[in-house]
Structure formats: C-alpha cells, structure tokens
Chain A
Amino acid sequence: MPKQSPVPDELDKPFWDACNEERLVVQSCNSCDKLQHPPQPTCNECGSADNLEWRQVSGRGTIYGYAVMYDCPVTELAVDQPFNIAVVQLEEDSGINMLSHLPGTPVDEVPVGANVQVEFEITRATGQKVPEWRVVV
C-alpha cells in the first residue's frame, strides 16, 4: 500500500537510515538493558540519555492484534479501504511493537499470534524505506 514518506529528524534518523539499508534497529539502553520504540531522547526506564544506542534486531515478530480501517484519515491510504492495521511484537521483546498493513493477508483475516518477518517498502514521495511485516507461511 502506498504510504506517506516519513521525514527523519535528528533523533530517529538512525532508525530510518537503517531501514534504507534493510536493517531493523531499535533503541537500547546499556544501563538497564531495555529496548524501547519509538525513539526517545532518554531511556523510559532509567531516564539516562548517555547510555542509549541503536541495536539491530532480527526482524522477526508475532501479531498481537489488529483492527480493520474503514474510515482512514490519511489521504494517501483512503483509496485502499478497508485494510488491516496489525500490531506486531518483536521477537526480542514483546513489549516493543510496530504497526503493519500485513501485505498479502486478506482484509479481516489476520492470524493473531502468527509469526511475521520484516520487509522494507519504498515510499513514493522521497524513496525512504519503511518496515512492513509479512506472515511467515
């Protein structure tokens, strides 16, 4: 599905740069050994800013849940309604989640609990790649 192109900022640029290299990274705190996403200036757990680094993760996860979008506010996506928006939990830490349209999965036939694998999709406006997730058959 055509998506808006995310515009990286100073904080999240490493995440989007990694996407362009088809790698999935999330922030990790060296002090308390916690992952966090979306990116934050400080660790949600210990408040440290100095101990945050980017850690590459496997790109594997599971589907936590979903809803089917029928009245989407985003102009670029409205033509594709209805469509799935699923919540994917990372294999490394189920507390970290990301959204997905689940390409290849029929609308409202989302296999909750199924394994998924990340892939990277090029967005139209700038060519920035974004993480998408596909059910592992």
Chain B
Amino acid sequence: MPTENAPDSMYRDTEGLGIWEHRGKVAAVGIGISPTVRRWDETPETSVGAWTILAIRRAIEDAGISPDQVDGLVLTPETSTGVSWPSDRQIPEDFLKTFKGTDDPLDGIVKLSVDWILKNMPELKNIKFTMNAPICMSNACVVAAQAVGEGLTNTCLVVRGWHNLAGRYYVGQGAASGSTISGPGKWSTMWGTVACYTTAMIFEQHCRKYGKTHDMMAPFVVNEKRNGLLFPEGFWAQFRPENLSVEDYLASRWIAKPANLFDNDLPICISAAFVFTTAERAKDMKQNPVYILNHTRTRPKVRRVVPTLEDWQDGSDSTGRKLYEGAGITARDLSFENMYDGFTLFHVWHLEGLRYAGVQRGEGLDLFQTDISIEGPNPVSPSGGNAGSGRTRFWLHVDSIQQLQGRAGARQISKKAEIGVSGAYMPDMSYSLIWSATPD
C-alpha cells in the first residue's frame, strides 16, 4: 500500500497557535550521512537506494540503538530537482539483481519509496508508522517532529536521498526541449526562465528598492564556501577543497543576472538520515539530545505567474513570527541561524524574516558586510549550506543538530550554542524548526 503524504493537520502554518504543545518533548539524536559523488556511476552500491540504506544504518549506529528499536520512517520520496531517467534507457542489470524492487522499476535509482527501503532493510522489522514528506528534508523533519510529539512513533527515522545523473539540469530537456510546450511551462518556461530566474528578478527588485547591489552578496557566499570546506562529509571538502575569493565571486558568469554561477548550487549524489525520538527516550541514547522547540510551515497565499518581492517578504516574516511564537523565544535567543541558501540569494529574505541579529526588511545584505563567521557574534549559516557542500537541503539541519550537540568539529561556533534555527526552502514556501540544547 502506498505511503501517504503528511496531512495538513500535522503542520503548524498559521499564526496565533501559541506554544507548540510538544515543545521540548521531541529530540534529534542520531545522524547518518552517506559518501558523496558528483554523478552516479550506475553501479548498485552507489545508487541513491544503496546510499540511503547506508545513511540510515549510520544514523541508527550514531544514536546507539538497534534497528529493531526504530518504529517510524518519514521519507522525502523525490531524489532530485532536475535530471531524471530517460524513458528509452535500460535500467542497469546489476541494480536489479542487487536489490529487491517495487512496482516502480526506477525505485532506488531516481526516486525512493518507504516500500523500497523496508524491502531492502529487513532489520527494520518494527516499523509501524510511515509517511511521505515531499520536496524537502525540512518537511520530513517537521512531520517526524509532529509524529513523535503526537505519539504516532517513538523512535523515527527521517530520510532524504539525492541522485544526480549525467547531463545538465533542465537544459534542453522536458518542457524546454521541443518546439511546442504543454502544462504549466506555458506560463514560465516558454519565456526561457531558468530555475533561478524568479529569485534573480526579485533580488533585482530588492536591490532597486533598498539601494543595494549584488556585490554585497560576496561576503556571504565566501563565508558559505569557507564553512562548507569545514564539513568533512561535504562534496567540496572532499573533491574540490578550494576557497572562493570575493574576486572569484564577482568575476563569475551570470546565469540570470543578477544571479551568477556561485549563487546556484551543485547537484550531487548523497543521502542522509536522522533519528528523532521522545525527549524521555533520548536520554538513554549515545548522543546528546537536541530538543525541538517548534516547527512551522509557510505556504504562498497568492498564486501568480511569478511571486513578487512583497510576497517573499510577507512569507519569510510569517515564518519568523510563527517560529518564535510556538517556541516561546525571540530573535535574540538564537545562537546561530542555518536557513536555506540554494539559491544563495534566498538567504537575504530568510534572515530578514527572522529579524536575525536585529536585521529588518532591506537590511539583510548589510549584515553580510559585518562579521558573520563562525567565530563572530552573529554566525550566519555555519553549515555552509548547499553553496558550501553541494545540493542536499539537509546540511542546514545536520549542522544545527551538531552545533547544539557540541560536535560540529571545525565548524563549531565560538559562542555557546544554545538555540538555533534551520529551514528550507523558498521564502514563501518553507518548513522550519527551532532547535535547542535544552528542553526548556
């Protein structure tokens, strides 16, 4: 039976809900991350399915529990935002021989299902709760937190995998390839929009309105790369350990001006898994618990061909207000922030919505001109995000948990890590969480 998507009732997406009823009663404990490569080499052992199994096993081991103690699994089933499997291409025989398949022959290659994972991980024999959380691991974290809080599961895996096949994302593929176009692309793709187009257009509007420039992004992107190179599991740290200079950033080619190459992230193959459990159960596990004080979802209110700057500012402001309300904290309580950065320009609105370090609308780029390093008073994205370690949408959560556990290694912020925030992905469409080293 197919796993269902999380129902609306599991989300906190309106203001005025008060303190989250499970505040401090749910904790993240274990983390597992697979190896990474730029593209899949079509061997079974490096498929997204295989690496997801590996990440899950590592997370369970990291938490210091046995697989039979896990009773929940929340999965983001999509494993890419771009290149998929060509319809005329044969599925590698070795893959079919190595894994138990589902009704979908591409399961484990360019997508993942709960069914596929459970068929190929017989040690997960006590799973009673399963749910899909589409699009983003942030969604999966939110759903798992709520599920543990509600008692639907006691010890729950949160899982996300990524595949990356040969070829360029979107370019000359699908809706972009023909002389005719059908579907929603009639309103956008037909005009030649690349993925970062909307972000670039809104950023241009932002700079125009507040008297800022794209050059002001440079300190942030340089900082992202620096922090990413301190993430041993990251793609750049392992394969291209090169720092980025301000000059490199400013000299980079435009993709959709004002968004350049370094404002876009690099697709990679990788998987991650977390173990969430109750605060009570977490006390007996191997790692320090990181308590969840609140979670929230923000969705766009207005459906247009493209959103506006005002839509994104309203969305990110709403996220900030909801997060603080449900957690019972203020912006001043944050030790660090790890909001999404893929595209890097997103970070401006995420920061402003949180009022992080006191920034108001139109001031996010100004904060980037101050000390935003892990050593400074206002650490910005200590994870390095997608820009620093490759496209995953999960570095932000991994780092938030590790910062609060005190095991972020070379990325550990100098100030005491007490409360942090992470969330993704768009300013007006996001799933975010407040994490804490203590439950109250």
Contacts and interface: CB of A to CB of B under 8 A. Distances in A.
Interface in B65-91: none
Contacts of B255: 70-71
A130 B190 contact: yes
B2 interface: no
Interface string B293-304: 000000000111
Contact of B256 (A4, A37, A69, A97): A69
Interface string B24-37: 00000000000000
A67 B197 contact: yes
A65 B304 contact: no
B179 A67 contact: no
Contact of B193 (A12, A82, A85): A85
Given A82-B257, A125-B180, A12 B190 contact: no
Given A6-B190, A67-B259, A73-B194, A126 B303 contact: no
B179 A95 contact: no
A135 interface: no
A5 B208 contact: no
Contacts of B192: 69, 72-74, 77, 83, 85, 101
B106 interface: no
A108 B189 CA distance: 20
A109 B318 CA distance: 34
Contact of A44 (B257, B303, B305): B303
B187, B204, B208, B255 — most chain A CB neighbours (10 Å): B187
Interface size range of chain B in the complex: 35 or more
Contacts of A74: 176, 189-190, 192
Interface in A83-128: 83, 85, 87, 95-101, 108, 112, 124-126
B96 interface: no
B256 A67 contact: yes
A7 B191 contact: no
A22 B201 CA distance: 28
Interface stretch (B146-154, B165-173, B240-248, B384-392): B165-173
Contact of A64 (B171, B189, B258, B308): B308
A11 B182 CA distance: 12
A69 B194 contact: yes
B178 A73 contact: no
Interface in A7-55: 7, 9, 12, 36-38, 40, 44
B193 A99 contact: yes
Contact of A85 (B170, B176, B201, B302): B201
A6 B188 contact: no
Given A5-B181, A71-B194, 4 more contacts: A65-B201, A67-B204, A85-B256, A99-B191
4 tightest A-B CB contacts, nearest first: A125-B179, A67-B200, A77-B192, A68-B257
23 contacts: A3-B190, A4-B181, A7-B181, A37-B305, A38-B303, A44-B303, A65-B208, A65-B308, A73-B192, A73-B194, A74-B189, A75-B176, A76-B179, A82-B257, A85-B201, A87-B308, A95-B302, A97-B305, A97-B308, A98-B187, A99-B191, A99-B305, A126-B180
Interface of B: 169-173, 176-182, 184, 186-194, 197, 200-202, 204-205, 208, 253-259, 302-306, 308-309
